[in-house]
Amino acid sequence: MVALKPLHDVATIKRVVVSTYQSVSGAGRDAMDELWAQTKGKYVPGQEVEPKKFTKEIAFNCIPHIDVFMEDGSTKEEWKMVAETKKMLDPRIKVTATCVRVPVFVGHSESVNIEFEKPITADEAREILREAPGCLVIDKREPGGYITPQEAAGEDATYISRIREDATVENGLNMWVVSDNLRKGAALNAVQIAEVLINRKLLKKAA
């Protein structure tokens, strides 16, 4: 949402296709412990760890399943992405999502394909996002000229990389988005919401 909102304000988003690569910390401390134990078990014979928190082994693996399955075949996490985009951004936006759990301790990543109503170039999107609050564009078209979840861990910003035009649709862009899910996805959000409530005099500061 942090990366989409400034682009939507300028060019109006019609449709979003997103694949998420979500770290195990999104599933809690037990999930992080399971990844760590399974990783060690790969190198120490006799110390293999059976999946408990996840449906399959998460170490050195990717699991295309977060939360429970729904009747239409999507998971609840995928449904939430659709519902929250419509609620927070615009109910007219069409969204389809695939959510994958990956063997990363902290930091969620997304591959995002966006179709707009109005023309917008990659250069224009890059400049818009550079000026947007909470966004940090790291987008050099060279090896290493992008952000990974390891680098985003412990940071507050939402990082955007790999911004490029999609020639297969009219007014289309692709981009790579990464942030620390424990900070921007949870703790920082709570603080920022409280600050807004205080600034709007809807919540009083503690004495």
Q: Give tens-digit pLDDT for 123-171.
A: 999 999 999 999 999 999 999 999 999 999 999 999 999 999 999 999 9
pLDDT at 188: 52
For the cut 60, the answer to whether the pLDDT of residue 46 exceeds it is yes
pTM of the predicted protein model: 0.88
CA–CA gap between residue 92 and residue 132 (Å, rounded): 23
C-alpha to C-alpha distances, 99 to 1, 25, 39, 48, 110, nearest whole angstrom:
16, 15, 22, 26, 9
Q: What is the pLDDT of residues 55-101, one digit of tens each?
A: 999 999 999 999 999 999 999 999 999 999 999 999 999 999 999 99
DSSP string covering 62-93: -B---S-B-TTS-BHHHHHHHHHHHHHT-TT-
Portion of the chain with pLDDT greater than 90, in percent: 84
In percent, the amount of the chain with pLDDT more than 70 equals 88
Strand order in the sheet with 172-179: 94-101, 13-22, 108-116, 172-179, 158-166, 135-137
The SS3 call for residue 109 is strand
Q: Where exactly are the structural domains of the chain?
A: 4-23+62-180
Mean pLDDT of 168-186: 91
| Fold designation for 4-23+62-180 | Dihydrodipicolinate Reductase; domain 2 (3.30.360)
What is the distance between the alpha carbons of residues 31 and 74, in angstroms, rounded to a whole number?
Answer: 22
Q: Are residues 78 and 99 in contact, defined by beta-carbon separation less than 8 angstroms?
A: yes
Sign (positive or negative) of CA dihedral 57, 62, 68, 71? negative
